[in-house]
Amino acid sequence: MQLDIWLTMLVASILISVSPGAGAVVSMNYGLKYGLKRSYAAIMGLQVGLFVQTFIVVIGLGSLIMSSLLLFNIIKWIGVVYLIFLGVMKFIEKPHLPDDTAKIKAFSASKAFIQATLINLTNIKATVFLVAFIPQFLNPDKPLLGQFAIICATLICVDIIVMTGYSSLASKLKNVIKSIRAIKIQNRLTGAFLLLAAFFISTAKRA
């Protein structure tokens, strides 16, 4: 891949990753609740989902999904329902002020990883975007595997940095939230953002 093409892709990747979405909500939620270090389980889960989405598009399955109304809608509504479920659970979650030991025990790295992976895997808007985005940087005359590696590595590295930033900013607010009322507001805001993400995904249309 030529340097100028890669730099264009890098800039586009940064702008896309910075745009608030379900991944940013997940990163901020874990950063706020458990701190930056533990939020990396969720951040890595998001990257696995992004890797699979990128691979699907590069090998051509993304176009297949776009051409099948049934398959497109199945993936879309699975993602919508899952985000609605997470949002509602946040709304009804009972606010409490656990000590650090209780937080550590309550945290599950595997649960955070799986949850985040599923969120990105079922984000059909990401599929729609990647189908439109990736072909612009693919050269049909060059080996596909090498190009996939460059594109995927760029997207994932940028997203890790951006999601780390979101999580880090949120973790700095952890010490400010020291009341039941503040935690309740936090849960409601997180739930609202997840429901908003579900709404935006529900509006996705085939390219």
Q: Is the dihedral of CA 106, 48, 10, 207 positive or negative?
A: negative
Q: Examine residue 4 and state whether it is found in any structural domain, yes or no.
A: no
Q: Examine residue 10 and state whether it is found in any structural domain, yes or no.
A: no
Reply yes or no on whether the pLDDT at 99 is more than 70.
Answer: no
Task: Find all residues with CB under 8 Å of 112, minimum gap 6, and list them.
Answer: 30, 38, 39, 41, 42, 45
Band (17; pLDDT cuts 50, 70, 90):
confident
* Host domain of residue 30: 24-93+122-202
Q: Give the burial class of 141: count Cβ atoms within 10 A of its Cβ; 0-12 exposed, 13-18 middle, 19 or more buried.
A: exposed
Q: Buried (b) or exposed (e) across 113-134, using 16+ Cβ within 10 A?
A: bebbbbbbbbbbbbbbbbbebb
Q: Examine residue 6 and state whether it is found in any structural domain, yes or no.
A: no
The tokens of 106 are what? 């309550």
CB atoms near residue 53 (< 10 Å): 24
For residue 98, what is the enclosing H or E element? none
Quote the number of domains for the chain: 1
Q: Examine residue 16 and state whether it is found in any structural domain, yes or no.
A: no
Give the SS3 label for residue 56. helix
- Predicted pLDDT of residue 117: 93
Provide the terminal-to-terminal Cα distance of the chain, rounded to the nearest Å. Answer: 26
* Lowest mean pLDDT segment, chosen from 10-24, 36-50, 93-107, 175-189: 93-107
Q: Examine residue 111 and state whether it is found in any structural domain, yes or no.
A: no
Q: Examine residue 61 and state whether it is found in any structural domain, yes or no.
A: yes
The tokens of 84 are what? 């609605």
Q: Examine residue 138 and state whether it is found in any structural domain, yes or no.
A: yes
Residue range 48-92, pLDDT digits in tens: 999 998 888 777 755 665 567 777 778 778 777 877 887 888 788
DSSP-assigned letter for residue 135: G
Nearest Cα to 163, choosing from 41, 7, 11, 34?
41
Q: Which of 26-30, 40-44, 51-55, 71-75 has the highest mean pLDDT?
A: 40-44
Q: Examine residue 139 and state whether it is found in any structural domain, yes or no.
A: yes
